[in-house]
Amino acid sequence: MSAAMITTSVVETLRAWRRSAPGPLWLAGPVLLIVAIPVADWFLPPDIHLAHLLVVAVAVTAVGTGPRATALIGALAVLALVVAGLERQTLVTESVLVELSALLAVCAFLVLFTRLRDRRERELVRVRSVSDAAQRVVLRPLPERAGPVTLASHYRSAEADAIIGGDLYAAARIPGSTRLLIGDVRGKGLSSISDTAIVLGAFRAAAHRMIPLPELVAYIEDAVRWGLAEFSEPEEDAAERFVTAAVMDIPDNEPVVHLVSCGHPPPLLLGGRTRAALALTVPEPSPPLGLGVSPAEANSADGADGCYLPATFPFEHGHRLVLYTDGVSEARNADGDFYPLAERATAWADKAPGPLVERLAADVRAYTGGRLNDDMAMIVVQRD
């Protein structure tokens, strides 16, 4: 585990501890310490002085509470130091005056620190809530059912504290079939969210239309080309930005799946004639989105149909499809070996979609030791 991960874990633990700790209970320790120090000073020899430990009470309070409680405990600590000085008749001595000045300075600093910390935490909560809402709008959760198919998904971003990144998926219902998209933007993490939004927006705008699958992919290609060129920074090369994707159509009344692959890893079919997972490799894959046919070619007589050729595979009742991005298939263990997705999917082929996708996701994390170097997305589709 890296130092950054350890630090983040400790900070989150302290925050959770502070949020869960009742105020009066948290203050009990500092108050007892403030009371105990003057009492102990009364019985200790003159050369032993414990008043400098009063700062511990203020520091503990600052960790667990806010500025008001810290100021209160600080005032009590100063009062206890004055009482201890009066008991020993040393209040006006240079040593006690220095201790008193230092304690006042530390109390003022801790009150200011807790005030700034609480303000910062409130700002982070607001920013995090806005960010989470925005990201959930971009990557909407998949429905559990779409027509005669059951869907289960899992997503994990390579960026800490991010809900989405460069991987994407979406589903849409049209009369008589269910359409699915899974894709992977070149790049990862938060920097690729704009490209993710372009692809998802294009799919949602066109997937509900009663147009053939090649025309749907051509529409997405056109939108991606425009978006990548429109929103590229001057120093960026739009030609270096692309999106691999698999777009499929699952008819309600026909036991098949139609698939257009734009440079994306092939889905796995579970439950076929052989027990082993079968990779649905498209004979004529298309280029990744952003690198395909131009709008002029797509509008020609056979532009879209000639470039985006769908392949048809059997997909019968009870069969499952495992759709994934290369964040899953190219995950590596400590020895540099790729994750054996087909082997693990075959071993757990009897699981329902929800348990299967969660079991695979947990196994990927265990296989890599928790180190996720790329975004990861998976969908399990079952025809009921």
pLDDT of res. 257:
96
Cα separation of 104 and 219, whole Å? 69
Residue 376 pairs in a beta bridge with: 156
Phi and psi at residue 255, to the nearest 5°: -80, 55
Cα separation of 190 and 121, whole Å? 22
pLDDT digits (tens, 9 = 90+) for 163-176: 677 889 999 999 99
Element (H, E) at 312: strand 311-314
Residues in the chain, pLDDT under 70: 1-26, 41, 46-49, 87-88, 90, 92, 131, 135, 160-163, 187-191, 231-240, 272-274, 292-306
Q: Cβ neighbours of residue 33 under 8 Å, at least 6 residues apart?
A: 53, 54, 56, 57
* Domain end (from 88, 113, 134): 134
pLDDT of res. 361:
93
Helix axes 94-138, 67-88, angle to 10 degrees: 170
CATH number assigned to the domain comprising residue 333 = 3.60.40.10
> Do 127 and 165 belong together in one domain?
no
pLDDT of res. 3:
39
Tell me how many domains the chain contains: 2
- 356, 320 in Cβ contact below 8 A? yes
pLDDT of res. 14:
47
> Do 146 and 128 belong together in one domain?
no
CA proximity to 149, closest of 353, 347, 346: 353
* Domain end (from 93, 114, 134): 134
> Do 79 and 178 belong together in one domain?
no
* Domain boundaries, position 20: 3-134
Element (H, E) at 1: none
> Do 108 and 192 belong together in one domain?
no
Cα separation of 228 and 262, whole Å? 17
* Domain end (from 134, 166, 198): 134
